Amino acid sequence: MDERRKLSRSFKVELEETEGRMVEGCVVPYGEPAQVVDDEGTLPYWEVFEPGAFGKQLRAANRVELDYEHRDDLGSSIGICRSLREEASGLFGAFKIHAGAFGDQALELVREGILPGFSVLFSDRYRVWQRSAEGTVLRRSCELHKVSLCRAPAYASALVTATRSRREFELPEIDDGQIERLRAIGVEL
């Protein structure tokens, strides 16, 4: 079996409150060049993900795990992908965060801006990387292995655009006049 080299990239995220235990956003921006380094001691190079780079993976979203900074311990497994979709601007994902202490902590760290980015673990399907005339590596066909929440993104526009959580809410107080009108029509409180 062909084992291609797995690479990691991180992207900045922004946050907005919605409902459920979900984290959503742009996982990989398309058309945005970034200078990256794959291993310590190697030279940096420029790369850009092109639209459609993850198109073969859209139907297998449920196979993509969400973790904390690509760690492999059980406590760092914080969620699972529920959907992937491609737009002209990038690959977008929605991730269900696991219930429990680790998932709760991850949601709080996202809300507080401590984990402002997505990072992806991927491999390029091409054995020989394709390059532009200027030498930029063109990511045209990639396999997504894992997505992580991270502190230090490499790409500025991979954004967490929403988190969803169930919220308890209080009903507004009802004045005595409203209570009497309700009782008059047969409603018991």
Does residue 189 sit within a domain?
no
**Angle at Cα 95 formed by Cα 102 and Cα 122, nearest 5°?**
100
The pLDDT tens digits of the residues spanning 72-98 come to: 888 889 999 999 999 999 999 999 999
How many CB atoms neighbour CB 148 within 10 A? 21
- Please check the confidence at residue 114 and state whether its pLDDT lies above 50: yes
Q: What is the mean pLDDT of the chain?
A: 83
The pLDDT tens digits of the residues spanning 16-58 come to: 444 578 999 899 999 999 898 888 888 999 999 999 999 988 9
- Please check the confidence at residue 170 and state whether its pLDDT lies above 90: no
Does residue 115 sit within a domain?
yes
The pLDDT tens digits of the residues spanning 96-111 come to: 999 999 999 999 998 8
Residue 35's CATH number: 3.20.16
* Number of domains within the chain: 1
Does residue 129 sit within a domain?
yes
Contacts of 65 (CB under 8 A, 6+ apart): 77, 79, 80, 81, 146, 147
Does residue 1 sit within a domain?
no
Does residue 147 sit within a domain?
yes
C-alpha to C-alpha distance for 175 and 178, rounded to whole angstroms? 5
Map residue 49 onto helix, strand or coil.
Answer: strand
Does residue 30 sit within a domain?
yes
Contacts of 104 (CB under 8 A, 6+ apart): none
Does residue 164 sit within a domain?
yes
Per-residue pLDDT, 157: 63
Closest CA to 49 of 128, 116, 143: 143
C-alpha to C-alpha distance for 144 and 49, rounded to whole angstroms? 12
Domain coverage including residue 32: 7-184
Does residue 2 sit within a domain?
no
